[in-house]
Amino acid sequence: MYNMLVEPFAEWINEKFLEWEKAQGKRRRSYSEFARWLGVSQPSLSKWLNGDNPPTGDNLRLLAEQLGGEIYTLLGKEIPPEIQELDQLRGLTPEERAELDRARQEFTRKWLRDRGLERDE
């Protein structure tokens, strides 16, 4: 099973690099820059790109935070709830994100006020 997952993952991470590179503009980007953007080490990224082994633990979570929860599905794992929430936020328009942020701020103010913990502004 492990070997069956490595090759599709290597193809997927290579595709994600190309998408990221294209989104960055005309200048070619390096794998080192991609690794930095992902928050992982260059040697780890090289292993994944070469199909040596898939990510695990913190590296898997970091990749999912930047690239989406589909990585868990690709590796035959269940997507953690916090990654599912991030994926839902990625689908919001800028206006929806701003509305969500305003609602969060209002909720926080009310929660603090109800507990007598209002901050002086």
Range(s) of the domain holding residue 71: 2-78
- Walk along the chain (121 residues) and give the pLDDT tens digit of each residue: 445 566 888 999 999 999 888 888 877 889 999 999 999 999 999 999 998 888 999 999 999 999 989 999 988 899 999 999 888 888 777 788 778 878 888 998 899 999 888 765 5
Instruction: Assess contact for 61 and 71: CB atoms under 8 A.
Output: no
97 in a domain, yes or no? yes
Q: Token pair for residue 9?
A: 């993952």
Length of the chain: 121
Is 6 buried (19+), middle (13-18) or exposed (0-12) by CB count in 10 A? middle
How far is 35 from 93, CA to CA, in rounded Å? Answer: 27
Judgement on whether residues 6 and 58 belong to the same structural domain of the protein: yes
59 and 20, same structural domain? Answer: yes
How many domains would you assign to the chain? 2
Q: What is the pLDDT of residue 1?
A: 45
86 lies in a domain?
Answer: no
Q: For the domain that residue 7 is a member of, what is the CATH number? A: 1.10.260.40
Asked if the structure places residue 73 within a domain, the reply is: yes
- 72 and 99 co-located in one domain: no
Say if residue 18 is in the same domain as residue 65: yes
